[in-house]
């Protein structure tokens, strides 16, 4: 299967072979890869070459390395379109996954400076601070801290843990959510994020901040989320300006 006379580098050929085995379902998520030694003997290539192929696929998130255990086929990443302002619940349902949350914190407080600025209110304004681990089929995907202006939302029941905040605000409060503004940053999981997301401290996460506005332009929520870098990728269709 490896063609040493091909102009394609050998590590690349190994990579493509691994990809094919995963794409065709021959290797399933969670399956352990043969060791570097076995790989290199089977293909008669150096262990360095095998390592290069595996490292690149691990960096892409196709494979997953576990210290002291081996290298495994990773779960495919969730591909999240960026068009449309959707809720986590809607996103997961659209994929046939069961959305869920674990409530970490739920309280009313005065808005911290940055939150007051984002929500265009005073620092004395009362806001909900709701921290949730967002789950898909019981697997932690994102750790979110949501700040919502009490004056706009009214009382938010604590059992919102098990429901969608957006559907509560829209259906029970009759609020009309309009658009949102989001920023994305690369980051490394801190101790709390790592703990809540069941990943290693320092693992890559995508930090997303969203301000969501009502149709009349009033800021409704300010959300900081850490999405698992190994489980998520985002896509957007773009058009060239003419």
List contacts with ligand GLP (CB under 6 A): 87-89, 144, 146, 164-166, 208, 210, 221, 223, 225
When the beta carbons of 63 and 175 are compared against ligand GLP, the nearer one is 175
In the numeric block, the tokens 């043969």 are attached to: 34
Least distance to ligand GLP, CB of residue 146, Å: 5
Whether residue 111 contacts residue 125, with contact meaning beta carbons closer than 8 Å, is answered with: yes
When the beta carbons of 9 and 157 are compared against ligand GLP, the nearer one is 157
**H or E segment and range at residue 47:** helix 47-60
DSSP characters for 110-160? EPPHHHHHHTT--TT-EEEEEEEEEEETTEEEEEEEEEEEHHHH----GGG
In the numeric block, the tokens 């921290």 are attached to: 131
When the beta carbons of 165 and 175 are compared against ligand GLP, the nearer one is 165
Least distance to ligand GLP, CB of residue 92, Å: 8
When the beta carbons of 72 and 166 are compared against ligand GLP, the nearer one is 166
- Number of Cβ within 10 Å of residue 166's Cβ equals 19
Least distance to ligand GLP, CB of residue 75, Å: 19
Least distance to ligand GLP, CB of residue 125, Å: 18
Tokens of 4: 């040493």
């Amino acid at each position: 299967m490896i063609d040493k006379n091909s102009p394609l580098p050998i590590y690349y050929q190994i990579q493509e072979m691994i990809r094919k085995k995963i794409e065709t379902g021959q290797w399933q998520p969670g399956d352990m890869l043969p060791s570097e030694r076995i790989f290199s003997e089977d293909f008669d290539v150096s262990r360095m070459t095998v390592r290069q192929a595996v490292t690149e696929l691990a960096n892409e998130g196709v494979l997953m390395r576990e210290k002291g255990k081996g290298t495994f086929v990773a779960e495919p990443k969730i591909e999240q379109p960026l068009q449309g302002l959707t809720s986590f619940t809607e996103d997961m349902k659209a994929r046939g996954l069961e959305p869920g949350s674990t409530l970490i914190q739920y309280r009313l407080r005065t808005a911290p400076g940055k939150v007051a600025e984002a929500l265009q209110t005073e620092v004395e304004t009362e806001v909900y601070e709701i921290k949730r681990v967002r789950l898909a089929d019981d697997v932690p995907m994102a750790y979110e801290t949501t700040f919502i202006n009490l004056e706009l939302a009214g009382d938010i029941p604590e059992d919102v843990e098990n429901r969608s905040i957006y559907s509560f605000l829209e259906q029970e409060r009759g609020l009309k959510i309009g658009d949102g503004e989001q920023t994305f940053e690369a980051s490394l999981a801190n101790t709390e994020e790592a703990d809540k997301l069941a990943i290693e401290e320092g693992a890559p996460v995508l930090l997303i901040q969203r301000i969501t506005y009502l149709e009349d332009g009033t800021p409704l929520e300010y959300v900081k989320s850490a999405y698992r870098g190994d489980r998520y990728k985002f896509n957007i269709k773009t058009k060239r300006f003419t």
